[in-house]
Amino acid sequence: METAGILFALGASLCWGTVPVIYKLGMGKVLMEKMNAIRSFGFLGSSLVIFWLAGEGSMEGASWVILVGLASAVLLANVAGDLLFFIGIDAIGVGKATAVTCSYPLFVTVISVALLGESVTVMTLSATIAVIAGLVLLRSRSIAQVEGSGATLKGVVASLGAAFLWGGSLVVTRWAVLESDLGPAALNLWRALFFMPISWGWWSCRYLSMDGKDRPDFFRTDCKSWIALVLAGALALSIGGFSITKAMMLAPASLVSPIAATSPLIAAIWGRLLFSERLSPSQLLGVVLIIAGSVALTYS
């Protein structure tokens, strides 16, 4: 069972570390809101396949309150949060943006303390300091950095915003899981069903707010971008989300969490190989501190 859990965790880490590269490749010609809408097809299609293969049989087991909570989590994380993540990738690159968003356990801890009255342990405090120190180091300029300090600050702030929204969504999703009888495949499918109308509605509002002469075609995008974004939706939202949930069911968190937390390193490697993104020694130390602090926050 533990071996299977480790394999699922590795799968989730690989998905989450590879998807930012796909986003980077598809960002040149497609507006971010439209990217989000297009990837909803990959999310829904792959979630339907996973639900069928998992054999859970029913989408029932949740009240309307739970479903509203899931819809809110989708809006927070998969729409608003991921749009901020796209901005971060565009401003500071794949590796650094992914490393900053890896700090989402910090926000989970803050939200839990503020709303649930949980106590702060020594490990929690130490891990928080490590994450903040890592963010400061990551903010420093690299040897051959091409973007200006304004772009760097914009990218870090956007990525932190994504991490905050992901953390809030995680708290809501945990509550939904505890209060319902939904299995991991059914939970993911409900999220996919909510994500499609929300993401296309968001894109519609953005589209209508543009001047007529500046509006791109509402649906039409080059075939390569469509394929890339549908694949990204399937990997990040469906396969990655299902894999980490399944991993937690099959193996202890002490094994799953460190493996899943390696996704920023995978993203940094891809960024270096495909986009020649460089990290200075201090920024590399920042990445390590963010990952280590995030893992420690998960344990605490």
Task: Give SS3 for 38.
Answer: helix
Rounded to 5 degrees, φ, ψ at 121 are -90, 170
> Residue 83 and residue 30: Cα distance in Å, rounded?
13
> Residue 93 and residue 20: Cα distance in Å, rounded?
9
> What is the pLDDT, as a whole number, of residue 43?
95
Structure tokens at 252: 């202890």
> Residue 257 and residue 9: Cα distance in Å, rounded?
8
Tens-digit pLDDT profile for residues 146-191: 445 566 788 888 988 998 888 787 777 767 767 778 888 888 899 8
- Per the structure, how many domains does the chain have? 1
pLDDT band at 260 (very low <50, low <70, confident <90, very high): low
> Residue 194 and residue 198: Cα distance in Å, rounded?
6
pTM: 0.75
Tens-digit pLDDT profile for residues 179-217: 778 888 888 899 899 999 999 999 999 898 888 777 888
User: Contact at 8 Å (CB) between 90 and 27?
Assistant: yes
DSSP 251-274: S-HHHHHHHHTTHHHHHHHHHHHH
Q: Which of 132, 131, 149 is nearest to 140 (CA)?
A: 149
Half-sphere exposure of 152 (CA within 13 A, CB side): 15
> Residue 238 and residue 49: Cα distance in Å, rounded?
10
Domain that holds residue 196: 2-299
> Residue 235 and residue 15: Cα distance in Å, rounded?
5
Rounded to 5 degrees, φ, ψ at 188 are -65, -35
List CB contacts of 107: < 8 A, sequence separation 6 or more: 163, 164, 166, 167, 168
List CB contacts of 205: < 8 A, sequence separation 6 or more: none
Q: How far is CA 60 from the centre of its chain?
A: 26
> Residue 2 and residue 184: Cα distance in Å, rounded?
18
Query: Which residue type sits at 128?
Result: T
Q: Average of pLDDT values for 57-76?
A: 85
Tens-digit pLDDT profile for residues 75-116: 988 889 988 988 888 888 776 787 777 777 667 667 766 765
List CB contacts of 284: < 8 A, sequence separation 6 or more: none
Q: Is the dihedral of CA 283, 32, 47, 222 positive or negative?
A: negative
User: Contact at 8 Å (CB) between 96 and 272?
Assistant: no
Considering the chain, what is the average pLDDT of its residues? Answer: 78
Q: Is the dihedral of CA 102, 247, 267, 127 positive or negative?
A: positive
Instruction: Mark residue 124 as left, alpha or beta (left: phi above 0; alpha: psi -120 to 50; beta: remaining).
Output: alpha
User: Contact at 8 Å (CB) between 35 and 231?
Assistant: no
